[in-house]
Amino acid sequence: MSAKTVTILGSTGSVGCNTLDLISRTPEAYDVVALTANRNVSELASQAKNFNAEYAVIADEACYQDLKDALSGTPVKVAAGQQALDDAAQLSAEWVMASIVGAAGLRPTLSAIRRGVTVALANKECLVCAGGLMMQEVKDHSAILLPVDSEHNAIFQVFDFDRADSVESITLTASGGPFINSSSEDMARVTPEQAVAHPNWDMGAKISVDSATMMNKGLEMIEAYHLFPVKEEQIEIIVHPQSVIHSMVTYKDGSVLAQLGSPDMRIPISYSLGWPERIETPAKKLDLKELARLDFLDPDPVRFPALRIAREALHMGGTAPTILNAANEMAVFAFLEGRINFLDIAGVVEETLTQLDTSPLTSFKMVHDIDEEARAVAQRIIGRL
Ligand code: NDP
């Protein structure tokens, strides 16, 4: 069998590194076409050398010379800038991992989709800010979109797409994050270090903070709405602190199908990398006796208002989720830089949504403009705080 050609957008991040970890276990099965990063020159250069990548692309043009120096004497071709990222996504890889964080991933992900190839989607923000438009592109270009987010990957594995009307609801499980048992007073004082220390998953800073506010589950709810043929009221959220059941589908006969596994992203990534085959992973096998018990509870709407705000944005539709995503990215960034406190994050998002009118989302140009406008409004709110 010939090697699978792969590109990883965001290869230096948590999902990107886990993807390369899987590839490193059977390197003969893959040809790495392009690897990309934002600013992490040393990691990108070392990955490009270790995996014999054809291209290494850095988003920040100021890093171009450093990357070129780091890869001098190797056959790796080097490029930088936003256009170069899009070009990387357009190279001939048959499988593209979309694992850039934030709305910055939208353009390159779209470039890959427009080639009609298989796109493994970790970058949930692009579905949140442009879901309807993106799914139309997937259809128009006959691309295959495989969800990598563990919850959506779980649902993808157990959802009967041929009999979608037999599905009563889908349930996304949420770990509850590091502050599941903290009081509001304690949450007001948490540091970025505490917020990124997720109890079950080892992830990038932005998604870790999103998990701590539970905005992550809100973003996932919107993501699920676009990925699966369900109505918004069919999407349920339950807190499951052990993160063993990754999500479930309830059918109208009362059957509930779930996917279980250790909380290790290499499982859902491997599912998308091998699809439709399954491939081996080094993830710890689940030992139900060792676990002994699984807990479930409702999310607390008072300490975690982000979930309600995201549901309202989904209900409003149109540009509301685009605004929600942009404001959240700005607020999380400001929190990580120590400019606002943890509980302000949801406040910034909600206020941004109330300050901007919403309308139907009809083009990617509009996504871009609304995203910029919402970031400016969020920035003003953050400045005032
Ligand atoms: P990380 O922050 O660990 O990595 C992000 C990657 O994107 C890095 O390669 C980074 O480069 C690159 N990047 C960041 N900003 C830009 C930009 N402006 N332009 C181009 N590239 C950029 O994120 P994660 O791997 O944790 O998450 C990636 C995506 O996957 C997110 O959307 C997240 O929600 C989703 N996801 C992540 C999971 C996880 O386990 N981590 C689980 C499920 C979903 P550099 O290193 O140079 O900064």
CA of 252 from ligand 1 middle (Å) equals 37
The model's confidence at residue 198, banded by pLDDT at 50, 70 and 90, is confident
Amino acid 292: pLDDT: 87
Closest to 113 (Cα-Cα) out of 73, 152, 144, 147: 144
What's the rounded Cα separation, in Å, for the pair 366 and 130? 10
Angstrom distance (rounded) from CA 172 to CA 2 = 37
Structure tokens at 84: 């170069």
CATH number of 4-147: 3.40.50.720
- pLDDT tens digits, 235-282: 999 999 999 999 999 999 999 999 999 999 999 999 999 999 999 999
What DSSP letter does each residue of 327-351 carry, written as one string? HHHHHHHHHHTTSS-TTHHHHHHHH
Q: Whose CA is nearest to atom 27 of ligand 1?
A: 101
Q: Which residue has the tokens 């990387």?
A: 88
**Is ligand 1 within 6 A of the CB of residue 265?**
yes
For residue 186, pLDDT over 80 is answered with yes
Residue 373 pLDDT exceeds 90: yes
Rounded mean pLDDT, 209-224: 98
pLDDT of residue 303 exceeding 90, the answer is yes
Sheet holding 256-260, edge to edge: 235-239, 167-174, 245-251, 256-260
pLDDT > 90? residue 340: yes
The whole-angstrom separation of Cα 95 and Cα 23 is 12
CA dihedral of residues 160, 161, 162, 167 (deg, nearest 10): 60
Band (pLDDT 50/70/90 cuts) for residue 199 is confident
- Whose C-alpha lies nearest to ligand 1, atom 32? 123
Assess whether pLDDT exceeds 90 at residue 1. no
User: Ligand 1 atom closest to Cα of 40?
Assistant: 47
Structure confidence at residue 120 as a pLDDT band (50, 70, 90): very high
Q: What pLDDT digit, counting tens, does each position of 17-43 carry?
A: 999 999 999 999 999 999 999 999 999
Q: What does the alpha-carbon distance between residue 325 and residue 101 come to, in Å, rounded to a whole number?
A: 12
- Measured CA to CA, the distance from residue 224 to residue 230 in angstroms comes to 8
Mean pLDDT of the chain: 97
pLDDT of residue 201: 85
Which atom belonging to ligand 1 lies closest to the Cα atom of 10? 9
Domain boundaries, the chain: 4-147
CB count in 10 Å sphere of residue 299: 19
Entry pTM:
0.98
Bridging pattern class, strands 245-251 and 167-174: antiparallel
